[in-house]
Structure 1
Amino acid sequence: MHNLKEPLAPARPRRPRRGRGVWLAAAGAVVLVAGGGGVAVMVLGDHGSAGEKRPDPAPASSTSGGTGGRTAVRTAPPTPSSPRGPVVNGRRQPPRVAVPVSGRGRYAVVPGTAPAPAGSRGAVVRYAVEVERGLPFRGEEFAAQVHRVLNDRRSWGQGGRMRFVRVAGGPVRFRVALTSPAMTDRLCLPLRTGGQLSCGQNGRAVINARRWGQGAASYGRDLATYREYVINHEVGHLLGHGHQNCPGPGRRAPVMVQQTKSLYGCRPNPWPFPKG
């Protein structure tokens, strides 16, 4: 410490300049650091083929403020309630969403319940829906899509085999969980998902949020139909169904074919009982 005979005049504080920011680009992420505002982070999903063997992605490190904790991290906005995507195969598509490699590593159970459709028959199957915190999706919208798919006549209930009831607590037969790629890799072990695939094991249908937001090359621009497939396929594992092979070129793929990887010469099909 230096001893000064005369006090130094305090330095004049520099006022932050508004409207200025610094863009940083590194390893597939674009970060905007705004003076006096916050940090906006967007990590773009990998658009590579889901069939390729890729190394496991390193978990993204958490972003914290470097100026005394005054900065904040903002994720991409949730999916809009009204679909705005193109019309593909006669269906209005949901918008594609960029998904971060890592979320917060904790699930939030979607609150509320959803009964089976009026007049449906079959054994009641109770299930829950979870969404990893930090993902750019609304849990209520994801849960509504899962419930619609599972109770479709072409799904596993087949209009009488079983009926699905969503609950937020109590015993359930399985859980459908929207999950970041990094957490998917951990939960699906010993299976190797490479940040690209989903899985169904240990009572949980782990839906890779990257696939949910971007679809798969095998389904092209038809994201809506791909989402039906990935729900039915992973829940199918929890109901005791294993993988199947394409029965022949040009034929409809059974839902338990690994259609995210390839159609193997078959036509895409998201339903266990496509004829209803």
Structure 2
Amino acid sequence: MPYVKVPRRATGRYAVVAGTDAPRKGRGPVVRYLVEVERGLPFDGEDFAASVHATLNDPRGWGRFLRVDHGPVRLSVALTSPVTTNRECRPLRTGGELSCWNGRRSVINALRWATGVEQYRGDLEGYRQYVINHEVGHGLGHHHVHCPGRGRPAPVMMQQSKSLQRCLPNPWPFPPSGRRASDLSGR
């Protein structure tokens, strides 16, 4: 993947990515969401929306998600410059590097979207899946957790962008281990 130079500051205004994408097949509730990209970032909105949708609807993910381009929605996923991330994530201090959940928006830091983190050892796609699942997980009512033990997969709600605490990187809420998503209640 070619290097993308991410500006520290973009316009501070979001554009909703047009279009819809159906939820994965199956049973259970469907979560309506939309995707936004801050204007002035060097990313294609449709590519970002496709990555978000594929991640959210993966069988290892949280459930079933319907992407729309208008409300009402339960949440949005927004690709955001570092400066706007700082503003949108207040009172959390992101240092221009972290992503966050705030209000009804998963704020995905564009700098980290472009570069990933050391903990993922060059697996940019895996890191992107992690950050989407982690921040949307907050929107579904899940909270931070700790590493369950040395050498075990890190829970997706662990702050893997900061540290793996001796766990292994894991981008999925329900990795192939027999666990299944029962609902989106936040349990």
Tell me which interval the TM-score lies in, with the shorter structure as reference length. over 0.9
Please give the per-residue CA displacement for 1:14-45, whole angstroms capped at 9, x wherever unaligned: xxxxxxxxxxxxxxxxxxxxxxxxxxxxxxxx
The equivalences for 1:67-78 within 5 A come to none
Distance, in Å, in 2 between the alignment partners of 1:130 and 1:183 is 13
Task: Determine which structure has more spread, i.e. the larger CA radius of gyration.
Answer: 1
In the TM superposition, residue 164 of structure 1 has moved relative to its aligned partner by 0.5
1:122 paired with 2:28, answer: yes
Structure number with the higher helix fraction is 2
Cα distance between partner residues in 1 of 2:114 and 2:4: 5
Distance in structure 2 (CA, Å) of the matches to 1:234 and 1:196: 14
Pairwise CA distance, 1:120: 2.4
What is the TM-score of this pair, normalised by structure 2? Answer: 0.92
Could you tell me which residue of structure 2 aligns to residue 213 of structure 1?
A: 114
Write the mapping of 1:65-214 to structure 2, written as runs, cut at 5 A.
85=1, 95-117=2-24, 119-157=25-63, 163-214=64-115
C-alpha RMSD of matched pairs (Å): 0.9
Separation in structure 2 between the aligned mates of residue 248 and residue 169 of structure 1, nearest angstrom: 42
If asked which structure has higher relative contact order (CA below 8 Å, sep 6+), I would say 2
Classify the secondary structure of the residue corresponding to 2:9.
coil
1:53-90 residue CA offsets vs partner (Å, 9 max, x unmatched): xxxxxxxxxxxxxxxxxxxxxxxxxxxxxxxx3xxxxx
In structure 2, relative to structure 1, the CA distance for the partners of 1:96 and 1:215 (3 Å cut) is: farther
| Cα drift, residue 116 of structure 1 | 1.2
> What TM-score, normalized by structure 1, do the two folds share?
0.63
Contact kept? 1:98, 1:214, Cα under 8 Å? no
Q: How does 1:44-63 map to 2 (within 5 A)?
A: none
Gaps of 5+ in 1: 1-84, 86-94, 158-162
Extract unaligned runs of 5+ from structure 2. Answer: 181-187
Alpha-carbon offset, residue 217 of structure 1: 1.0
Q: Percent identity?
A: 64
| Alpha-carbon distance between aligned partners in 1 of 2:30 and 2:122, rounded to the nearest angstrom | 35
